[in-house]
Structure 1
Amino acid sequence: MVGKVAAGFVIFRRKAAAVEYLLLQTSYGIHHWTPPKGHVDPGETELVTAFRETWEEAGLEKTDLKIFQDCAKILHYNVNNKPKTVHYWLAELINPNADVKLSHEHQAYKWLPLKEACDCVGYKDMQDVLVQFEKYLAK
């Protein structure tokens, strides 16, 4: 059994010469930091879910983002002893006037450079995704 399937975007912006990643702090549990993501609804593709969840959780629209479909990562881990699969794509915030608007699921957000973002997320698999996506951008 596959378990729960979720999808989201690792969103970055270019600030001067630096790259910063968007992380949202959950308003539940241990208040961990994560990119916008959520569960795939019946009949949705993972990519459609990533757009929907980004809109619901961060208030960012399709037109605010450039998606790098060739830069994706799938994570597999357990939540409460149940398998979970999360699909992530790299996305650039291309609308400089877009404002992050949090849903009730999150209580704060930050734009952070790679090292601080890795420290913030805490989980090794998410750190690996950030590092891999940063290497993609450096090419």
Structure 2
Amino acid sequence: MAPKRAAGFLIYRLISNEIQYLLMKASYGNFHWTPPKGHVDADESDYETALRETHEEAGYTEDDLIIYKNLYKILNYQVNGKSKVVIYWLAQLRDATKNPLLSDEHTEFKFLNKTDAILLCGYKDFANMVEELDVEIKKIHGFNQ
């Protein structure tokens, strides 16, 4: 059986030259923290799914984001013994003061620095993705490494 597919955005904002990542707490299951994402419908592309799910879960539209289509990570993992593939594109929030409007799928959100985001999420594949994309963000914005 083909793995389930999901797509979303790793959204960040810059506040006083600090990179902060958006994580949202699920209102179901083990109440995990993740960026906005969701399952790919049969009639849409991964990218269309990322846009739809981000709008449904966080209230952000494509106009709210600077999306780096060439910067993405594909995560492969197991959920309840079934394979899942998730693609995350990197996206910057244009208005760093604009908070998400949560759907009923999430109970709260946090914007966190890299270390705190990695600790809160708690998954190694997420940690690796954030570490790698954090380097790219610093290049984009000319931060010293």
CA-based RMSD: 1.0
- Residue in 2 aligned with 1:65? 65
Distance in 2, Cα, partners of 1:89 & 1:138: 16
**Helix, strand or coil: the match of 1:129?**
helix
Shift, 1:97, TM fit: 5.3
| Cross-structure match for 1:23 | 23
| Unaligned stretches of 5+ residues in structure 1 | none
1:12 maps to 12
One-letter code of the match for 1:89?
W
Measured in 1, the distance between the counterparts of 2:69 and 2:90 equals 7
- The C-alpha deviation readout for 1:62-83, integer Å capped at 9, x for no partner, is 1000101111000111111111
Partner deviation per Cα, 1:1-22 (whole Å, 9 max, x = no partner): 3221000000000001101000
Kindly provide the amino acid, as one letter, of the partner of residue 23 in structure 1. Answer: L
Q: Structure 1, residues 29-72: CA drift from partner, whole Å, max 9, x if none?
A: 11110000000011100000000000000011110001011110
Report 1:83-94 matches (<5 A).
Answer: 83-94=83-94
Q: In 1, are the aligned partners of 2:114 and 2:131 still within 8 Å (CA)?
A: yes
Identity %: 45
Q: Which runs of 4+ in 1 moved over 4 A?
A: none
SS at 2:100's partner residue? coil
Task: Read off the aligned partner of 1:109 and give its amino acid letter.
Answer: F
Q: Can you give the 5+ residue segments of structure 2 that lack an aligned partner in the other structure? A: 140-145
Residue of structure 1 equivalent to 2:118:
118
What's the secondary structure of 1:72's corresponding residue?
strand
| Aligned positions of 1:70-109 closer than 5 A | 70-96=70-96, 98-109=98-109
Whole-angstrom distance in 2 between the partners of 1:2 and 1:46:
15
2-structure distance, mates of 1:72, 1:109:
22
TM-score by length of structure 2 reads: 0.93
The count of aligned residue pairs is: 139
Query: 2:35 aligns to what?
Result: 35
